[in-house]
Amino acid sequence: MIHKSKNYGVNSEMKDNFEKSKEQHPEIPDLDLHYYGMKGYGIKDKCPEEGRPKFHLIDSRKLFSLVPLINSKNSPYELNGDKLTYNEIDLPFRVKFIGRIGRNPAYFYHRGIQEWMPTLDSESILGINFQPICKGCDWCCRDLQKGMINISPEQGVRALQEGGVDLPNIDKMTFVTGMYRNGEEVTQVILKTVELAKKQGFRGRVLYIGSQIQDQTLAKRLIEGLDKTRFKYAYTLETFTQRERMHIKKAKGLEEVLDIIEKIKDAGLTDFEYSYMPGLDSLDAFYKWMPKFSKLGKPHLSIFRPASVEQENLKDFEFVKDPFKYLCSMRMAFEKEHRGPIYQNNLASLWGFPIDRINPLFLTDKTSLGYG
């Protein structure tokens, strides 16, 4: 008698879901589909206490970067040592295990070759986190290091200098809302930080990811204060149906949010996106609201990843049941609305990084600048 594991039926259904999506979307490569599966089902990790595993998934056309935050015990994707399999079978593309990483809270962080994080066109991106003390939204995985406090732009830029940040070679500076009291304070912090950074040679672009700047007057002041510095605003929407669950301050109705966005765009904001996390909304809600927001700007996408086992409950039922179908459906809808793929520096996008737009070192056997 052949004894089948208790997960046999579940894994068989997952495999069927994969094959159905592959048949329905022959234009979407296996790499992309398996990445969607890993985002939906997670990864079974036998050694989570050793740190979060980091992978690059690579085929002849693109690269996806993957860092699961939790151990998903029932996933068909399993990590054993440095080998990742699907239903105990090798994956049909290159899986490059980078290593295990911890959470390193800091006042700033890099995206680029120095941190072995791919970016489009090999750009060097600096994330600013001078306001780390933030209750945050329920999905946020931010940790605080002992002794960390909110600091001023002057203290922050000094920390950049002491940390050896080469500001003249930073292509983009990204501000993510922490616990700022209001939009006025956000505006002041961005303007002062950029002013001080320019004195140290910064000549790059600025991205603000947040939603506290909701007033036309503040938007105009920010744009005028930045002068010729290119500026993009990514409004943190995240979800159409669970906003109040994310954070009490995100309980505004969607029609009101649309009105706010239209007004700040009228203030002269020409480069606008709305941040969105596939995985939280039903497809019906997505189809209803996505076109309305996409008329105002491109989505700033990052597929939802739970930071704790409890946060699995935030996932939409359709995403949990069949992430292949769910994410393929969203991808096709976005491509129809925006006339093609949306390539961005988000590490959890729907399209990954085209390999002809990233540093070729990522395609070698190296796993850091100091290796080999």
Six-digit token string for 39: 């985002």
Burial call 235-244: b when 16+ CB within 10 Å, e when fewer: bbbbbbbbbe
Res. 138: pLDDT tops 70: no
pLDDT of residue 218: 95
pTM of the model: 0.91
pLDDT of residue 150: 83
pLDDT-derived band at 347 (thresholds 50, 70, 90) equals confident
Least confident of 52-66, 137-151, 181-195, 277-291: 137-151
* Between 80 and 107, residue with greater pLDDT: 80
Span 223-259, pLDDT tens digits: 999 999 999 999 999 999 987 666 556 567 899 999 9
Ramachandran category for residue 255: left, alpha or beta (phi over 0 → left; psi -120 to 50 → alpha): alpha
Span 29-62, pLDDT tens digits: 999 999 999 999 999 998 888 999 999 999 999 9
For residue 215, which amino acid is it? Answer: D
Structural class in CATH, domain 102-296? alpha beta
Length of the chain, please?
Answer: 372
> Residue 285 CB: number of other CB atoms within 10 A?
16
pLDDT of residue 142: 52
Q: At 127, which helix (H) or strand (E)?
A: strand 125-128
Res. 2: pLDDT tops 80: no
Domain locations in the chain as residue ranges:
102-296
pLDDT-derived band at 139 (thresholds 50, 70, 90) equals very low
pLDDT of residue 188: 95
Give mean pLDDT, residues 286-311. 95
Give mean pLDDT, residues 149-178. 92
pLDDT of residue 134: 60
Report the distance separating Cα 207 and Cα 42, nearest Å.
30
pLDDT of residue 4: 47
* Between 242 and 358, residue with greater pLDDT: 358
pLDDT-derived band at 144 (thresholds 50, 70, 90) equals low
User: Measured in whole angstroms, how far is the alpha carbon of residue 24 from the centre of its chain?
Assistant: 27
Backbone dihedral angles phi then psi of residue 192, each to the nearest 5 degrees: -70, -40
> Residue 269 CB: number of other CB atoms within 10 A?
20
pLDDT-derived band at 7 (thresholds 50, 70, 90) equals low
Which residues on adjacent β-strands are paired with residue 61?
none
Q: DSSP secondary structure string, 226-253?
A: HTTS-EEEEEEEE-SS-HHHH-GGG-S-
pLDDT of residue 251: 63
Give mean pLDDT, residues 71-84. 94
